[in-house]
Amino acid sequence: MLFDADDTLFHFDAFAGLQRMMTGFSVTFTQADFAQYQQVNQPLWVDCQNGIISARELQVR
């Protein structure tokens, strides 16, 4: 398994990926939705990296 968390190996547009996934569920996903998602998601990843929450907790929050 290969991870590229900082986009040094592969360029991946997170907004486009989430938008494509949501479209598959017939859900409209906007830039505003993505901004709100990032406000919640980024601090959780920091907490996981710092050992404050587990990977399992990250999945369910």
Domain count, the chain: 1
Position 2 in a domain: no
Position 21 in a domain: no
**Residue scoring higher pLDDT (13 or 19):** 19
Q: What tokens appear for 14 in the block?
A: 């997170």
Q: What is the mean pLDDT of residues 33-48?
A: 92
Q: Is the CB of residue 38 less than 8 Å from the CB of residue 49?
A: no
Among all residues, which ones are annotated catalytic? Answer: 4
Residue labelled with tokens 């601090």? 43
Q: What is the mean pLDDT of residues 5-33?
A: 83
Position 25 in a domain: no
25: number of Cβ within 10 Å: 7
Position 47 in a domain: yes
Position 60 in a domain: yes
Given a cut of 70, whether residue 2 has pLDDT beyond it is no
Position 4 in a domain: no
Query: 58 lies in which domain range?
Result: 31-61
